[in-house]
């Protein structure tokens, strides 16, 4: 998916703390040296024995296995979720607290002036205001679940001082922060869904890059860098499908009807405006879409060695510690109508229930659907009004106050048009967009510095997505699963499904806007023209792609196109180009030719590290003539390379050389002509673009415009081969056979606040690193890297799971880090070694299996007043 992680290290300026904070941290180091055990280990939770906590009606057992994963057993759903809130707070309250400060636009209360712009941006979008409205929309059962969870968190807060909650609070306190966390509320949990949606918001980055590239290049040249989805080579999720009377049917072709009524479609395809380089400098805030993706697939019992469906999922998200997910089991002691919950899987600290996993009847997994759900609009606005359809209309305004640690409060005036909030009011980068923007035949028409820039985004309209999460936890069959998915508004996802009855399926849920005829969603557009605005309607759930029990016997989703080009509803043109999905399909097909798939074989597919571009690029590299000896030593490795990318071993040297050549090729080909913000990140779009350019050796993109000569493809390939040889000689060894991909491609996990402080000893306290990785960008084993930043992983599998519906206890799982957010805990990164080694852990579910796996047992009991 899902990606539903906020990449905190993308927040601006956390590495530029004020000098007094740095000085305070130096003093902290001295204190920590004297009181390490007390300060660092004090927040570790009690995990055995008994505790009394407020909010419970009956006892709840918390059984933790060797990795600290808790399975909870209670007599009611409310008690289970109260206990889950308490356990999440035990393990990760600091992470939860920082998240809610982000989603409320209140980071500056903790970190001062450095985060004011981020707070202003989030306040302008109004994430928490939307969450407050959503609380009134969710069902009574969901409100009860959210409140029970909050009661558990608050029971923990009421019995712990900040220094007992997290070592981070102790360090911040010694720098002068006087802070006590406030009570948790249901809105704190709902607001987190806005951050998840922002992280997986669709094609906004490509929309920006397309405009920046087009500033000084022809449409034809731009098209070369934004290739269309290769339907003829990489298959979509569903092979067919169309709308019949507005309802998606997998066997339909095109749009048809059984009754005489017109079918609706979303009009597209009108280029309106041109925006300058400053668009791409919009703060990333909480994530970058190109860095995240996911794999999931499900196979039927006919293709399974167990005779029942198998389901695999590994969401690819930004890397940090603690990791995105925390594992949990929630089990009613006696499952029945009065207490129906029996579920286990991966969830988020701060949110009740399980997000991805299985219950006693069904299993499900997520990948990001990635539809175009955001648009930037240029606005002709003055202080109080904006132009629309030739009329001046009043802007909607509200006042906000941002409290700043050790600074003056910032008064913020938020302005909005009907298209959305005006972000250029709070972003210098987007203010520059308006000043530089040019719309043919138009001008701002106002005595201002240019256009304002507003944002339309589906997540800014309240929706009952929280109902969907609870519904998935309790669903028992395909119909109940789809009913839950219908409430899933943002972020839009691909859902794969399997159940104990032998059925498998696919469903695409989420709110996707219907645009008018003037706006194709590809780049910023004129907000004053009616033909560009959204209709206010979204694609009906019944029209979104779905399929039950496909004839092929399996479903693969990896962010590729969902349907063929004939699907009449516009979702996006910026799909992942399908390298991972097609490789998974090839692996599954090959396995099925020799026999049915097992749990172990499903897990093995998740580790596939075949480079998708190598079979195309390597023959061109081998055709370049290089001298024997030093110049050609790296090239010689490619002749016997099998295109895999292990961290070490015989094939690793070639993988190291190829990836270094790839980074140099992108630099030498594109950096001379593209603004910094539009330069290649090495993702699927760039692989597809280079594939095409390799067949055009005289394309202008190969030429270095900064030289008098006219360079061609082979000139660039030669230069990249030689530069890569020099790079690896300088960084690893002059002997080519001694190179390894893992030496360059490493995993470093930074804690998002103190881990970015710039104070070495403090960073060593909370950060972890040094793992050598296989895989790479757009590989099934997707430890992605960005050539603009080096070879270290910036995103990767946030977890892996393989679920066996034949016997839940035969399922496997692993987390990127661990369940704990405490640096002193044995479970801070204890699963990282397992994941990097390509291994998984047993996933106990049944009562006997959980009991056998129990390493610690804590019983939570009601307080005497509540018994």
Rg (C-alpha) for the chain, rounded Å, is 27
Work out the pLDDT band at 844, boundaries 50, 70, 90.
very high
| Cα torsion angle, 249, 252, 257, 263, sign | positive
Largest CA distance in the chain: 85
For 98-103, what is the mean pLDDT? 95
Measure the CA–CA gap between 10 and 320, rounded to whole angstroms.
Answer: 11
Nearest to 817 by CA among 832, 797, 798: 832
Q: Where are the beta strands (DSSP E) in 308-447?
A: 310-318, 326-332, 342-347, 356-359, 362-368, 374-379, 385-388, 391-394, 396-402, 410-416
For the ranges 374-383, 542-551, 653-662, 710-719, the lowest mean pLDDT is seen at 374-383
Q: Enumerate residues 6+ apart whose C-beta is below 8 A from 772.
A: 647, 648, 740, 742, 743, 745, 746, 747, 836
Q: How far apart are CA 225 and CA 681, in angstroms?
A: 12
Quickly list DSSP for 170-207: HHHHHTT----PPPP-HHHHHHHHHHHHHHT--SHHHH
Taking residues 312-324, report their average pLDDT. Answer: 95
In which element (H, E) is residue 479 found? Answer: helix 478-485
Question: 779 Cβ partners below 8 Å, 6+ apart?
Answer: 579, 580, 583, 608, 609, 610, 611, 612, 645
Give the percent of the chain with pLDDT over 70: 87
Q: Is 271 exposed, middle or buried (0-12, 13-18, 19+ CB in 10 A)?
A: middle
- 331 forms beta bridges with 73, 342
> DSSP code of 228?
P
| pLDDT one-digit tens code per residue, 9-62 | 344 444 344 544 555 666 655 555 556 667 899 999 999 999 999 999 999 999
**What was the pLDDT predicted at 689?**
97
In percent, how much of the chain has pLDDT > 90?
Answer: 76
Helix (H, G, I), strand (E, B) or coil at 486: coil
Q: What are the tens digits of pLDDT across the range 466-521? A: 999 999 999 999 999 999 999 999 888 999 999 999 999 999 999 999 998 777 77
Distance CA 798, CA 26 (A): 33
Check pLDDT > 70 for residue 836.
yes
Tokens of residue 432, six digits: 């520059």
Q: Does residue 104 sit in helix, strand or coil?
A: coil
pLDDT value of residue 259: 33
pLDDT reported for residue 763: 93
Helix (H) or strand (E) holding 536: strand 534-538
Measure the CA–CA gap between 75 and 55, rounded to whole angstroms. 14
pLDDT in tens, 228-285: 999 999 999 998 787 776 777 777 766 654 333 222 222 222 222 233 333 333 333 3
pLDDT averaged over every residue in the chain: 89
Q: Are 353 and 81 in contact (CB under 8 A)?
A: yes
Confidence at 431, pLDDT banded by 50, 70, 90: low
pLDDT of residue 331 exceeding 80, the answer is yes
Task: Tell me what the mean pLDDT of segment 210-236 comes to.
Answer: 86
Place 401 in a pLDDT band, splitting at 50, 70 and 90.
very high
Does residue 750 surpass a pLDDT of 50? yes
Q: Which domains does the chain have, with CATH numbers?
A: 614-643+646-744 (1.10.1400)
Q: Write the pLDDT tens digit of every residue in 180-206.
A: 999 999 999 999 888 878 777 666 667
Q: What are the φ and ψ backbone dihedral angles of 769, each rounded to 5 degrees?
A: -175, -175
Structure-derived torsion over alpha carbons of residues 531, 533, 535, 540, reported in degrees to the nearest 10: 110
Predicted confidence at residue 864, as pLDDT, reads 87
Residue 6: predicted pLDDT: 36
């Amino acid at each position: 998916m899902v990606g539903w992680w906020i990449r905190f290290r993308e927040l601006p300026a956390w590495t530029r703390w004020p000098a007094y904070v740095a000085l305070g941290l130096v003093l902290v180091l001295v204190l920590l040296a004297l009181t390490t055990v007390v300060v660092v280990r004090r927040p570790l939770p009690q995990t055995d024995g008994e505790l009394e906590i407020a909010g419970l009606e009956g006892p709840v057992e918390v059984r933790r296995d060797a990795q600290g994963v808790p399975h909870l057993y209670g007599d009611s759903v409310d008690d289970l979720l109260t206990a889950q809130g308490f356990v999440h707070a035990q393990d990760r309250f600091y992470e939860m607290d920082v998240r809610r400060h982000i989603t409320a636009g209140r980071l500056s209360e903790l970190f001062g002036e450095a985060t004011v712009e981020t707070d202003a941006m989030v306040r302008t979008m109004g994430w928490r205001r939307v969450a407050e409205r959503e609380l009134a929309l969710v069902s009574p059962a969901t409100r009860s679940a959210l409140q029970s969870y909050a009661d558990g968190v608050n029971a923990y807060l009421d019995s712990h001082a900040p220094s007992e909650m997290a070592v981070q609070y102790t360090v911040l306190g010694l720098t002068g922060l006087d802070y006590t966390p406030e009570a948790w509320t249901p809105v704190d949990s709902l607001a987190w869904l806005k951050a998840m949606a922002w992280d997986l918001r669709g094609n906004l980055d490509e929309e920006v890059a397309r405009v920046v590239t087009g500033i000084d290049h022809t449409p034809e040249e731009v098209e070369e860098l934004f290739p269309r989805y290769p339907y003829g080579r990489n298959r979509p999720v569903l092979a067919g499908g169309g709308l019949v009377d507005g309802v998606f049917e997998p066997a339909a072709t095109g749009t048809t009807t059984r009754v005489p009524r017109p079918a609706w479609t979303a009009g597209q395809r009108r280029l309106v405006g041109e925006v300058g380089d400053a668009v791409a400098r919009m703060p990333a805030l909480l994530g970058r879409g190109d860095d995240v993706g996911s794999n999931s697939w499900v196979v039927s019992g006919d293709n399974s060695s167990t005779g029942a469906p198998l389901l695999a999922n590994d969401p690819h998200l930004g890397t940090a510690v603690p990791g995105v997910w925390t594992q949990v089991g929630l089990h009613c002691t006696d499952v029945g109508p009065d207490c129906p919950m029996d579920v286990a899987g991966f969830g988020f600290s701060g949110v009740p229930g399980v997000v991805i996993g299985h219950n006693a009847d069904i299993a499900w997994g997520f990948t990001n659907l990635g539809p175009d759900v955001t648009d930037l609009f240029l606005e002709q606005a003055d202080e109080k009004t904006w132009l629309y359809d030739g009329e001046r209309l009043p802007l909607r305004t509200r006042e906000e106050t941002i409290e700043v640690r050790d600074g003056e409060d910032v008064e913020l005036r938020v302005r909005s048009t009907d298209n959305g909030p005006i972000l250029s009011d709070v972003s210098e980068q987007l203010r520059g967009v308006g000043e530089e923007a040019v719309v043919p035949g138009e001008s701002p028409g106002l005595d201002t510095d240019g256009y304002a820039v507003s944002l339309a985004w589906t997540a800014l309209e309240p929706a009952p997505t929280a109902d969907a999460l609870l519904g998935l936890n309790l669903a028992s069959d395909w119909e109940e699963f789809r009913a839950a998915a219908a409430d899933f508004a943002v972020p839009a996802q691909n859902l794969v499904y399997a159940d104990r009855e032998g059925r498998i399926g696919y469903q695409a849920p989420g709110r996707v806007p219907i645009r008018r005829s003037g706006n194709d969603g590809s780049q910023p557009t004129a907000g004053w023209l009616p033909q560009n605005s959204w209709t206010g309607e979204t694609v009906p759930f019944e029209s979104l792609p779905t399929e039950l029990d496909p004839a092929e016997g399996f479903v693969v989703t990896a962010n590729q196109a969902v349907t063929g080009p004939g699907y009449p509803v516009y979702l996006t043109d910026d799909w992942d180009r399908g390298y991972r999905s097609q490789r998974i399909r090839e692996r599954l097909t090959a396995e099925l030719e020799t026999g049915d798939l097992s749990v172990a074989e499903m897990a093995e597919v998740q580790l596939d590290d075949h480079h998708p571009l190598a079979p195309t690029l390597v023959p061109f590299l081998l055709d370049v003539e290089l001298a024997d000896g030093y110049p050609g030593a790296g090239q010689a490795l490619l002749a016997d390379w099998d295109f895999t990318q292990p961290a070490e071993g015989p094939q690793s040297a070639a993988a190291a050389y190829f990836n270094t050549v790839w980074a140099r090729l992108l630099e030498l080909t594109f950096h001379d002509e593209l603004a910094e913000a539009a330069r290649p990140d090495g993702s699927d779009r760039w692989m597809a673009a280079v594939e095409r350019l390799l067949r055009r050796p005289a394309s202008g993109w190969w030429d270095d415009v900064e030289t008098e000569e006219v360079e061609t493809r082979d000139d660039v390939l030669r230069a990249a081969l030689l530069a890569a040889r020099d790079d690896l000689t300088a960084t690893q060894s002059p002997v080519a056979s001694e190179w390894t991909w893992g030496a360059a491609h490493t995993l470093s996990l930074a804690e998002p606040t103190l881990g970015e402080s710039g104070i070495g000893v403090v960073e060593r306290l909370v950060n972890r690193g040094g793992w050598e990785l296989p895989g790479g960008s757009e590989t099934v084993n997707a430890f992605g890297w960005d050539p603009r930043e080096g070879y270290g992983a910036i995103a990767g599998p946030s977890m892996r799971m393989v679920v066996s519906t034949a016997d839940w206890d035969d399922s496997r799982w692993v987390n990127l880090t661990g369940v704990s957010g405490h640096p002193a805990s044995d479970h801070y990164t204890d699963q990282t070694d397992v994941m990097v080694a390509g291994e998984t852990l047993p996933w106990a579910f049944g009562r006997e299996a959980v009991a056998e796996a129990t390493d610690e047992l804590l019983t939570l009991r009601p307080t005497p007043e509540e018994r």
